[in-house]
Structure 1
Amino acid sequence: MTTPPTTRADLLESWHEHLAHGRRLSPHTVRAYGTTAARLLDATGAADWASIAALDARSLREHLATRRLAGIGNVSAARELSAIRGFIAFAKTQAGDTANTLPRMRGPRIKRGLPRPVTPDDAVNLAALVADDAQQAWIGARDRAVLLLMYGAGLRIAEALSLTGADLPLGETLRVTGKGSKQRVVPLLPIVRQAVDAYAAACPWPLARDQALFRGAKGGPLAQGMVQKAAARARIVLGLPATATPHALRHSFATHLLGNGADLRSLQELLGHASLGSTQIYTQVDAASLLETYRRAHPRS
């Protein structure tokens, strides 16, 4: 076992190294977790790995209670508790605590509701920050393209990830196969086409017509969880609510179009929602009318 650091700066530096290189977290997350650890050290007076590892539930409750009095909400408190648990777990390994048991604490109850729409600027900023925060430029371009397909075209995340190389190059519209194998045609804004083009140009893997368009770091099809994690890190930095998930971007797409004058029939066609009545109603919306409705109503057009 290595000699434990003896200064506050050494403790925090080791924690930063673990987060950045051991867990490969984003710089923004590393900074946030580092700030949480620094606050814990200041509040408890813990000065080495052993004293951090020995912190009990009572000490942590007192610290978190002080944080709640400072005005943080349930989501922030839950995030802070998670960071503290990780810091204590790391301290236990550094102190040679083989039991590795953590203080038992229940986090705040977070109400789960329907996805709330984010503003147009927040949607675009979320996609931009995900791109800036990525470990590699092409991965950032990939995640930005996926998120803009969800907000700019109303795609489900599974629909975006089901696209193949055969869908390139993108035009003004895209044929999407949704739930129940139902196909629909969605218009594409220039910002969406440009984002996908930028990803395709940067992707290090050949984008064959019969293979997934969006690739993981090792070349396989991109998993939904990777996009969700990237968006989760970015929304923390932007101060967006926990409901600002990738799927909420699709919800925002619908809400913003409806609020800007899109009619329900066109909106249902764009989203690929099943109708309680006859689906023939959607065939009456011709492509030209649909494209004009989309361009007139979407706040980023």
Structure 2
Amino acid sequence: MQHIADETPTRDEKLIVLFEDFLGARAIRKPSAHTLAAYRRDLTAIARLLTDGDLAPDGATPLPLATLPISAVTTRRLRYAFGHFAAPRAAASVYRAWSTWNSFFAFLVADGRVPGNPMSAVDKPKVLAPAPKPLRGEETPERLLEAVAEGNDGRQRHPWPERDLVVLALALCAGLRLAELLDLRVGSVVGRPGERRVEVIGKGGRPRSVPIEPELDALVERYLESRRRRFGLRTVGRESALLVDRFSAPMRRGGLQYLVESCYRRAGIVDRVPAGAQLHALRHTFATRLAEDGASASEIMRLLGHATLTTSQNYIDVTAGQQRAAIKANRTNRALAKLAANDGD
């Protein structure tokens, strides 16, 4: 049966229309709102440079972005646009924009909208894997957890130590990213007592299941009970956001970042947080402590949701029991045991 396309491909399709088609297709993968916004910024930033008169074909009048056709996006113009884009930016930002445009053209080729992907002829920077940025100081994670659990900072207008402690613990003892925390539902914590785990959708839509110890499970339940008291039983359904603000609305990116920063201030450890890390410093602390306490590279990869190991020969498939043993060996869980034993009275 012959396939009939919804639209006849044309090299004169408007670039901004194709952007929307691409972003709509990407949305099916359920990326975070932050990720979609980053795609849009990278596409638009380069496209605006393509409207620069210096990049227009010889003798041609530059077109405004709203009317720029895909046929105007030549390899030569892309090279110049990326050259101008790269000048004031870090290599990681340039690489991310290159990857976005490469994915965009791969989508257009697969959809029959353009005959080929020109990005292979556009240089991209080499980006080294960033060095881990854990919290500095051997006992800093324990100091942070204990300070937040006490909840006696008079500067807080609306204290909620049960929630704040769960945020920190999920990052320190399960290695969750900021976007992963925001995407959690109440029903994301599953399993029988003693075999509990948190189910996460990570980068690239890759699912993973991270074992959690009874101490962290108890803190989650204590938080949910405090939430029921504040907002009522109906606000804690399985599909409800796990983390909410003081109005019972799902937490947003800025709110969660501010919460973590305020926890650092309350614990007096701001000087021990690597620059630019913030919540990611907790995830890096989780990973480095696993490594120090004997977890293998494969276990760490699986628990943190990384796509690959540095070299494929280091890959070792591990069982769920081995992953749980690695989690149990995490020293931060031992600090949670003491906090979980405290009933808050």
TM-score (norm: length of structure 1): 0.55
Task: Evaluate the alpha carbon distance shift between residue 232 and residue 202 of structure 1 in structure 2; reply closer, same or farther with a 3 A threshold.
Answer: same
Match for residue 173 of structure 2?
152
CA distance in 2, matches of 1:128, 1:227: 19
Deviation at 1:202, TM superposition (A): 0.4
Q: Is the 8 A contact 1:126 1:231 kept in 2?
A: no
CA distance in 2, matches of 1:300, 1:142: 17
Q: 1:220 aligns with which of 246, 249, 261?
A: 249
Alignment of 1:108-127 (within 5 A): 115-119=133-137, 121-127=139-145
**2:214 corresponds to 1:190:** yes
Match for residue 268 of structure 1?
301
CA distance in 1, matches of 2:181, 2:331: 19
CA distance in 2, matches of 1:175, 1:229: 25
Q: 2:188 aligns with which of 147, 155, 167?
A: 167
Q: Is the 8 A contact 1:149 1:155 kept in 2?
A: yes
Q: 1:211 aligns with which of 221, 240, 251?
A: 240
Q: 2:326 aligns with which of 290, 293, 297?
A: 293
CA distance in 2, matches of 1:176, 1:287: 15
Task: Evaluate the alpha carbon distance shift between residue 297 and residue 140 of structure 1 in structure 2; reply closer, same or farther with a 3 A threshold.
Answer: closer
**What secondary structure sits across from 2:209 in the alignment?**
strand
Deviation at 1:165, TM superposition (A): 2.1
Code of the residue aligned with 1:200 in structure 2: it is: L
Match for residue 157 of structure 2?
135
Deviation at 1:245, TM superposition (A): 2.0
CA distance in 2, matches of 1:149, 1:142: 11
Identity of aligned residues (%): 29
Q: Deviations over 1:48-88 (max 9, x none)?
A: xxxxxxxxxxxxxxxxxxxxxxxxxxxxxxxxxxxxxxxxx
Gaps of 5+ in 1: 1-112
CA distance in 1, matches of 2:157, 2:216: 22
Task: Evaluate the alpha carbon distance shift between residue 169 and residue 175 of structure 1 in structure 2; reply closer, same or farther with a 3 A threshold.
Answer: closer
Task: Evaluate the alpha carbon distance shift between residue 236 and residue 299 of structure 1 in structure 2; reply closer, same or farther with a 3 A threshold.
Answer: closer
**What secondary structure sits across from 2:258 in the alignment?**
helix
Q: Is the 8 A contact 1:119 1:252 kept in 2?
A: no
Q: Is the 8 A contact 1:154 1:253 kept in 2?
A: yes
Task: Evaluate the alpha carbon distance shift between residue 298 and residue 127 of structure 1 in structure 2; reply closer, same or farther with a 3 A threshold.
Answer: closer
Q: Deviations over 1:136-157 (max 9, x none)?
A: 45x3211210111000111112
Q: Deviations over 1:101-135 (max 9, x none)?
A: xxxxxxxxxxxx96333446322332343451443
CA distance in 1, matches of 2:319, 2:132: 32
CA distance in 2, matches of 1:150, 1:299: 11
Aligned CA RMSD, in angstroms, stands at: 2.8
Match for residue 240 of structure 1?
270
The total of aligned residue pairs comes to 187
Q: Deviations over 1:16-56 (max 9, x none)?
A: xxxxxxxxxxxxxxxxxxxxxxxxxxxxxxxxxxxxxxxxx
TM-score (norm: length of structure 2): 0.48
Alignment of 1:66-77 (within 5 A): none
